[in-house]
Amino acid sequence: MNAWFSWETGILTAGGYLLSLILLPIVLLTKKKEPVSTVAWVMAIVGLPYLGAFLFLVFGINRVTKRIRSRQQITGRTMDRLRKLGQHHLLSEEMLTPLQRTMMLVAHRVGASRATGGNQVKLLSDTPQAFAEIELALADAKSSIHLEYYIWQPDGVGTRLRDLLIAKAQQGVRVRFLYDGLGSMWLTHRFLQPMRDAGIKLAPFVPGQTFRERWSINLRSHRKIVVVDGRIGFTGGMNVGDEYLGKDPHFGYWRDTHLRLTGPTVRQLQEIFTLDWLYATGEDVIDAKYFPQPLELGATRAQILSGGPDEDESTFHSIMFAAITEARKEITLSTSYFVPPPALASALEIAARRGVRTRVMLSGPKTYWHTRHAARSFFDPLLSAGVEIYEYTRGQLHSKVLTIDGEWSLVGTPNFDARSIFLNFELAAAIYDHSIARDLSMLFDQDIPDARRIHLAEWEARPTWERLKENYCRMFSPIL
């Protein structure tokens, strides 16, 4: 028995080393732009030969390079047509503060969109209210409805919205529905067929069209878009499901931040949807009828930014880094997942050391075990620098909000983690408005009684076992 066991152990050990030798060159070739990610994958493969290799094969390899190139080609061919339809009410620099001018310049250069005036932006921090607003807009639709979601659950609220879309399609409204194949994996043929029968056009966001692509869980569409008649738009953190109404017993109360938009920003949302739809289906819906003259119902200055792995440089990494480094008075950040790339973690730390009041609120016990402990591995230098860190305890915190100096805000779908910043297709509204920034800061203040602040002295006294869990989870931070 001992000899047999030794023989088996030797085979397994040799296999582990052979697998490592095969995969390590692939890591070095494919991750050369991300040195921290390279080190993490090397450690995982060498330290956990079989598990690390499996995780790399699932998470680490981009199997959709051809689709990314196709996406870039589609974007390049159609951008001029979209710009002719969508450029309205552009802002001049004279209307902005120095911080806002800087952020507008950065956003334009890295995000390929322009800040606009004449918008109305309504904050929706209560999820039942947000769903009510969306349902009201859908019910009033006259010509078109475009939707794109990461998660759409076939539960109570998902079925109710589906049936509303079916009713509108039967009334002659053109409805298109784009969903992520992984996030919305529970959407069955039985659930979707009534939509098809009613004339709704629907498609999964690629990758995910072939078995080989489904093997990769990277490169997902994490976007949430609703555009009604080309005039009313919604985006933010909320997907579609009963859990977002606080009905899931595990998550409990759900704290999210969503936006209702009118004005030129809706045309920018429509741009993103039409590109995603063309990419996923091949159908060109870039038509003037989907880009009507914007409703000028407000005076808020804003723009929609999109980012994804088809970019040479990450839009949201650049935007977040620029915003944090430009801050002079105050930073507030709310995010459900906090596993930042090194540059963003350092930017927060340095901002606090510069005297900027820096406050961060993260999802607490209701979030995933591995992401919570990976997030905690970043706390030591941040707390030492003076960053105020809160963990939300009332339920699930799912907001993705960044405000700077009470002048500029970013609200949308990206979390403060490497997956959102580098691997997913995301979008957000950059808002150049004092009142919106003030309201978002007030919402942060209102969340504090439902959160637990982490204090440095208490944190330094935590058990060694907790530190081990944190550092173990941090090894996988490039993919969390």
Instruction: Indicate the domain borders of the chain.
Output: 2-60, 65-94+120-301, 315-479
What's the CA gap between 5 and 355, in Å, rounded?
61
pLDDT score, position 153:
97
* Catalytic-labelled residue, pool 31, 317, 373, 398: 398
Parts of the chain with a pLDDT under 70: 1-93, 206-218, 478-480
* Catalytic-labelled residue, pool 31, 146, 168, 224: 224
The CATH label, of 3.30.870.10, 2.40.50.100, 3.10.290.10, 3.30.70.20, for the domain at 65-94+120-301 is 3.30.870.10
Known catalytic membership, residue 455 = no
* Catalytic-labelled residue, pool 168, 258, 400, 469: 400
Q: Which residues pair with 462 in a beta bridge?
A: none
CA neighbor of 453 nearest in space, from 371, 383, 349, 406: 383
Report CA dihedral (132, 306, 370, 364) to the nearest 10 degrees.
-40
* Catalytic-labelled residue, pool 168, 180, 229, 373: 229
**19-32: buried (b, 16+ CB within 10 Å) or exposed (e) per residue?**
bbeebbeebeebbe
* Catalytic-labelled residue, pool 180, 248, 276, 405: 405
Cα–Cα distances in Å, from 214 out to 206, 211, 333? 9, 5, 33
pLDDT score, position 414:
97
Known catalytic membership, residue 405 = yes
pTM exceeds cut of 0.75:
yes
- Angle among Cα 57, 62, 66 to the nearest 5 degrees reads 140
Known catalytic membership, residue 398 = yes
Q: Could you check whether the bond before residue 365 is cis, i.e. omega within 30 degrees of 0?
A: no
Local structure of residue 91 (DSSP, 8 states): P
What's the CA gap between 229 and 231, in Å, rounded?
5
Q: What is the pLDDT of residues 19-70, one digit of tens each?
A: 666 656 665 555 545 555 666 666 666 666 666 666 666 665 554 455 555 5
Known catalytic membership, residue 229 = yes
pLDDT score, position 1:
46
pLDDT score, position 296:
72
Known catalytic membership, residue 189 = no
In the numeric block, which tokens belong to residue 52? 């690390």
CA neighbor of 175 nearest in space, from 183, 165, 167, 185: 165
Sign of the alpha-carbon torsion through 172, 178, 183, 186: positive
Packed helices 264-281 and 65-86: angle between N→C axes, nearest 10 degrees: 150
Question: Is the domain covering 315-479 a CATH 3.40.50.1820 domain?
Answer: no
- Residue 295 phi, psi (nearest 5): -75, 125
Asked if residue 153 lies in contact with residue 180, where contact means CB atoms within 8 angstroms, the answer is no
* Catalytic-labelled residue, pool 31, 146, 222, 317: 222
Please determine whether the domains at 65-94+120-301 and 315-479 fall in the same fold group of CATH. yes
Known catalytic membership, residue 224 = yes
Q: What is the pLDDT of residues 438-453, one digit of tens each?
A: 999 999 999 999 999 9
Asked if residue 195 lies in contact with residue 116, where contact means CB atoms within 8 angstroms, the answer is no
- Residue 440 phi, psi (nearest 5): -65, -40
pLDDT score, position 339:
93
For the chain, the maximum distance between any two Cα atoms, rounded to a whole number of angstroms, is 82
Kindly report the number of other CB atoms within 10 A of residue 446's CB atom. 11
